[in-house]
Structure 1
Amino acid sequence: MHIKFLAMTAIILLLSNCANMNESDCLNADWQLIGFEDGSFGKNESHVSQHRKECAEHGVTPDLMEYRNGHFDGSKRFCTANNGFSRGRHGKDYSRSCPEQFEAEFLKGFSDGQTLYGLKKILSQRAAELESTYKEIDWLEHAIADKSELMIADGLKRDQRLMVRNEVAQHQQQQVELYNTLPELKQEFEHALQSYERGKDKFSYY
């Protein structure tokens, strides 16, 4: 029964990835397992202070040696180049939780992942700029068409027609200016896309 309870506790902690230890958790804690889970999730060893604070309310003090042993083993899982790359490329942070023995390998992958994340972010920005320009050109096209029809509508006074005509001329000028920016925006997008694709190829070994 005790083993089943600990197994269930481990699953719950694994799924929730949070501390919030209640009285039962503290009284039945396997500190090596808890340390292992924290290490596997990339939590710093100092996270034991959170467990200490929660369990102090129930008169329980974490076994620091057991926790550290478990955390070290969990860190072996977390602190790999592949995991570092995965976290970096998804824009996640790193809390300096890796022991010195594993940190260099993790940081190599993390740095490469951050590089690819940065390239993708630039690509997304360039794509958004290009899409926004096309949308604005399309909006102006419709606005020009609507105002052109209004300009020849019955019942419009001369000064009103002049005002609408000026608005049409302004929209047309704006449209010309936007069309003139398209070549540069397309070039920047293509450059960002090529850089991102080269980055994916470069880091494909992860």
Structure 2
Amino acid sequence: MGKLLFTFVALGLLATTVVIATDADPINDFCVADLTSPIKINGLVCKNPATVTGADFAFTGIENAGDTNNSLGIAITPGLPGVSYPGLNTLGLGIARVDIAIGAVVPPHTHPRASELLYVVDGELYTGFVDTNNKVYDTVIRTGDVFIFPRGLVHFQLNIGKKPSVTIVILNSQNPGVQLIPSALFGAQPPIEEAVLAKAFGISPSEVEIIKKGFGA
């Protein structure tokens, strides 16, 4: 997995130089998150710099495959960067590994606070995004390829290869947010009225009910 770790670092450096951060600019050299603090702010509280070490800026778990044995067939490692990577706090970056099982799809979704750079470490994906004119920009990407998703636009990935895929994603926010379109509409709590969804998608209320049950709504 040496290649994976090298790619991870290289893409991180690339993102810091070519992507304009959407988060507030830092006012200190760094602000390693203090995960024990009960204080809630727009971000995470800083550790005392006197207690910060080099280990606060390192993470060695990115080479480990995530567990894709779930309903979606995808796994995101490590998760929310500000918590899993305390050293990223206030730096305007989010980083994760995404494993996608054979035939699995990352559902159409958006990141309201970030653009995304996706690098294919291994595998073959059909991917793309939809702009505000409803035009689809899609293609097939393979090992070594990079794809960009503009901020806030609906995008997706489908593993069309013969093996699980591994990707590294970098976003220009430590908390980019994610809204899965299917579950946002059909799994919302409290539920959206059937009449709204039926008219929006041109289906019957009974069909809406069937879809909702798939999302536990």
Asked if Structure 1 and Structure 2 have the same fold, meaning a TM-score greater than 0.5 normalized by the shorter chain, the answer is no
Q: TM-score, normalised by structure 2?
A: 0.27
Larger Rg: 1
User: Which protein has greater RCO, CA pairs closer than 8 Å, 6+ apart?
Assistant: 2
| Higher-helix-fraction structure | 1
| Higher-strand-fraction structure | 2
Q: TM-score, normalised by structure 1?
A: 0.28
